[in-house]
Structure 1
Amino acid sequence: MLLITALASVVMLFVLQSLIGSKISGVREWRAANILAIVSLILYALRGIAPDVLPVVVANTLLAAAVSVVLIGFCKFLHLRVPKRPLVIGLAIVASSMATFNYLWDSVTVRIVIVSIFHSAVCFAIAKTIPSPQNSTRSRYSYLFTKLTAALFGVGHAFRGLVYVLGIDVLISAQQSTLWNVLFLTIGVIVLPVLTLGATMMVHDRMMSEAENAANSDFLTGAWSRRAFFTFAAKEIERIHRSGNALSLLVLDVDHFKRINDEYGHAVGDQVLVDLTLRAETVIRNIDYFGRLGGEEFAVLLPDTSLEAAYTVAERLKAILDTHVPITENSSESVSYTVSIGVAHLQADETFSHLLQRADEALYKAKEAGRNTVIAAEA
């Protein structure tokens, strides 16, 4: 069992090594935990061969340290505060207890109870640290699996300690082959590989989420990309046609953007687009979609919004985007910009392409009307 678990930890070590390049917090800690676990399991296997200080004191302390480092990894992965003080105190108690109840008063029962309490507490802490599945970034399964297994290991260790406290199966030697011993040994040694598997799935979950966000987000402004915006629009229009609710679209364009690029450079033009996105997101709702269609042209999809309400939103956008941005970070000189906006309301059985075409036509009319204005498309 010890050999198989050590090999499983070695395999997980290689998996984690492949994830080091992801720069995701927690991976290095989980790798270190598996190294500690491998060393600990090797020392456990030396019971009866090496002095007791190695398979009893050092091995138990290293395994306790390993599961502690797993908790630290989850805290860093989830950007939470690491409970350093409780962990250090707990490890000190484990190390001193292993030495005390091996050399001064030889008691396997006390040693097992203390180790079980520590491992149970850390496993429950891991389960508590991991957020509910609905709060995960992409998939529920990885979070649910890790949270439940950590809680089950916590229950297993607590039950192990209770068995020894009640004297259900007092063992003279930790190597004795009894039903309880085999069961508890299994619980103790598979914690690291299983929790590492859960951690790996959560890292994969985050990497996939980040890749999807990168593909769906505009690289400069962070707004939804054209492809993502069209996908959202198709889904919303399908929903609106089923429910009969309202939906509106705004298309906006930076006025005289070419002149800004020509006079101040493309870096300043990029600053204008980033500033526009940040300001626009303060006006729209969480259920609205803000996307960059290309160049200096953006669009806002407004679900459950009438034409009148959409026109009001457009006016608010126009007002907040009649502004200026600094040419450089520490410069007092700035460049001003405004936007023109076309508004269109979804008609019965209308496609998104046709809705976008009408909003574009309204935008062109806003440009012809002198810019820095809002025009609503005709039905």
Structure 2
Amino acid sequence: MSSTFVILLVGAVFCVLMLLVLISLLRSSIAGIREWCVANAFACAALVLYAFGRELPPLVAYEVANGVYAAAAVALFAGFRRFFGLRVSLPILAGAVLSLAAAIAFFHYRVDSFVARTIVVALFQGSFCVGIALTIRRSRKAWRSRYPYYFTQTMALVVALGHFIRSAIYLGHAADMTSLLQPSPWNLVFLSLGSFVLPVLTFGAVMMVHDTMMEKAEHAANRDFLTGAWSRRAFFEIAEREMSRSQRTGRHLSLLLLDVDNFKQINDSYGHAAGDQVLIEVVLRAETITRSIDYFSRVGGEEFAVLLPETSRTAALVVAERLRSVLERKAGLGVAAYTVSIGVATLHGTESYHDVIKRADAALYAAKATGRNRVVCEPD
């Protein structure tokens, strides 16, 4: 059993292992995973065909094996495109595979040259690795944590460089290279590296998928499922942190509590779906006037809180009045009218978050009791 045969089979086994890992991630419904599964299945098949090339018909050993390996690279590239929400042109990718197969056939039947076939395959694979690296780079605004993306991008570039170096070396040693299974030093080096290209890039893809899943889990934990506002739990943690910072730096911090007026009547008159739509709209409208450093949270059924760092009592009253005005909607055809009442409180000294929210809640209760659709501030 030759060393080249073993290297190819070990590479196929790694592709199977990565395929099994990807299959376990399919239910996450993250784009790109299906294409990566196809890529590893194709790569496994191609490596097995390469390993048994001497026992197979020439058409299978050359055109089919290289065509399947090219399809693996194309599917891998398509997976990265889909992962980042980019368009994938299947006709163009299929045409690339067919062109590769045609080039292999030319250097098999018209000009029989192992070196030419190897260079064609290496340039094809290297080009798609560059395409993967560029896809990741151009989508850097969608990166969450940096490491998985830098790792995969770097590996794609290293693999591409390896393919281009292989082309140059094989071109310079054309007389010495006669077969893929030839146990020459250069052949063993590039065959060893090439057999693990797809598993390595797939490993990077899995890290990116894991990063996306973590981001989704954090979003589910920290955001309200209906409105997308900060959840009550996350808001309390943020408030404690911001209050500690304000007390440490001596800067102002204010809190608004707001409640949708007569929300039960909206549900009773228009239905719960309309009530849910009102809550969603409250958050969307509020985001148009709040700053990037403010925190808007749904802390109860129809009750919301707004944390305003570096905001004095006077400024908080201005924000609250603007918010009340923005959140006042008149009735329309099949659309519920609604208003909000707002209570305002400001952090004093070393008091706790619960002290501030208690005073804001008392101010909100006063706004409700005195007619609704108004702003009430805590007493001086």
TM-score band, normalised by shorter chain: over 0.9
CA distance in 2, matches of 1:248, 1:311: 9
In the TM superposition, what is the alpha-carbon distance from 1:134 to its structure 2 partner? 7.1
Alignment partner, residue 367 of structure 2: 366
Q: Per-residue displacement from partner, 1:213-250 (whole Å, max 9, x unpaired)?
A: 11222122221110011112122222333333322211
CA distance in 2, matches of 1:86, 1:117: 17
> Which residue, out of 92, 95, 105, partners 2:101?
95
CA distance in 2, matches of 1:191, 1:66: 11
The code of the aligned residue for 2:284 comes to: L
Unaligned runs of 5+ in 2: 1-6
CA distance in 1, matches of 2:61, 2:244: 65
- On the 8 A contact 2:51/2:181 being kept in 1, the answer is no
Greater shift, 70-79 or 80-89, is seen at: 80-89
- On the 8 A contact 1:74/1:130 being kept in 2, the answer is yes
Alignment partner, residue 329 of structure 1: none
The code of the aligned residue for 1:29 comes to: E
CA distance in 2, matches of 1:313, 1:69: 52
Report 1:219-230 matches (<5 A).
Answer: 219-230=225-236
In the TM superposition, what is the alpha-carbon distance from 1:86 to its structure 2 partner? 5.2
Q: Per-residue displacement from partner, 1:5-50 (whole Å, max 9, x unpaired)?
A: 1111111111111122221111111111111111111110122111
The code of the aligned residue for 1:280 comes to: A
Q: Aligned-residue CA RMSD in angstroms?
A: 2.1
Report 1:114-129 matches (<5 A).
Answer: 114-129=120-135
The code of the aligned residue for 1:105 comes to: V
Greater shift, 310-319 or 69-78, is seen at: 310-319
- On the 8 A contact 1:362/1:376 being kept in 2, the answer is yes
Q: Alignment partner of 1:316: what SS?
A: helix
Q: Per-residue displacement from partner, 1:124-164 (whole Å, max 9, x unpaired)?
A: 11111114897456433222221111111111111111222
| Runs (4+) off by over 4 Å | 83-86, 131-138
Alignment partner, residue 375 of structure 1: 376
> Which residue, out of 68, 72, 86, partners 1:80?
86
Report 1:6-85 matches (<5 A).
Answer: 6-82=12-88, 84=90
Greater shift, 71-80 or 173-182, is seen at: 173-182
The code of the aligned residue for 1:190 comes to: F
Q: Per-residue displacement from partner, 1:153-193 (whole Å, max 9, x unpaired)?
A: 11111111122233388412222112211111122221111
Alignment partner, residue 248 of structure 1: 254
Aligned length: 374
2:268 is the alignment partner of 1:262: yes
CA distance in 2, matches of 1:41, 1:138: 34
In the TM superposition, what is the alpha-carbon distance from 1:108 to its structure 2 partner? 1.5
CA distance in 2, matches of 1:106, 1:136: 46
The code of the aligned residue for 2:34 comes to: R
Alignment partner, residue 183 of structure 1: 189
Q: 1:95 to 1:133 in 2, by over 3 A?
A: closer
The TM-score normalised by the length of structure 2 is 0.92
Report 1:301-312 matches (<5 A).
Answer: 301-312=307-318
CA distance in 2, matches of 1:47, 1:82: 32
Q: Alignment partner of 1:334: what SS?
A: coil
The code of the aligned residue for 2:100 comes to: V
The code of the aligned residue for 2:271 comes to: G
The code of the aligned residue for 1:234 comes to: E
In the TM superposition, what is the alpha-carbon distance from 1:362 to its structure 2 partner? 1.6
CA distance in 2, matches of 1:283, 1:184: 59
The TM-score normalised by the length of structure 1 is 0.92
Alignment partner, residue 337 of structure 2: 336
The code of the aligned residue for 1:239 comes to: R
Alignment partner, residue 349 of structure 1: 350
- On the 8 A contact 1:160/1:184 being kept in 2, the answer is yes
Q: Alignment partner of 1:67: what SS?
A: helix
2:282 is the alignment partner of 1:276: yes
> Which residue, out of 100, 103, 110, partners 1:104?
110
Identity of aligned residues (%): 49
CA distance in 2, matches of 1:45, 1:75: 30
Q: Per-residue displacement from partner, 1:247-281 (whole Å, max 9, x unpaired)?
A: 22111011122232333333332222122112112
In the TM superposition, what is the alpha-carbon distance from 1:85 to its structure 2 partner? 5.8
CA distance in 2, matches of 1:19, 1:338: 45
Q: 1:134 to 1:377 in 2, by over 3 A?
A: farther
The code of the aligned residue for 1:218 comes to: D
- On the 8 A contact 1:133/1:140 being kept in 2, the answer is no
- On the 8 A contact 1:126/1:147 being kept in 2, the answer is yes
Unaligned runs of 5+ in 1: 327-331
Q: Per-residue displacement from partner, 1:61-101 (whole Å, max 9, x unpaired)?
A: 11111011011011111101225465344323311111111
Q: Per-residue displacement from partner, 1:292-337 (whole Å, max 9, x unpaired)?
A: 11111101112222322222221111111110466xxxxx232211
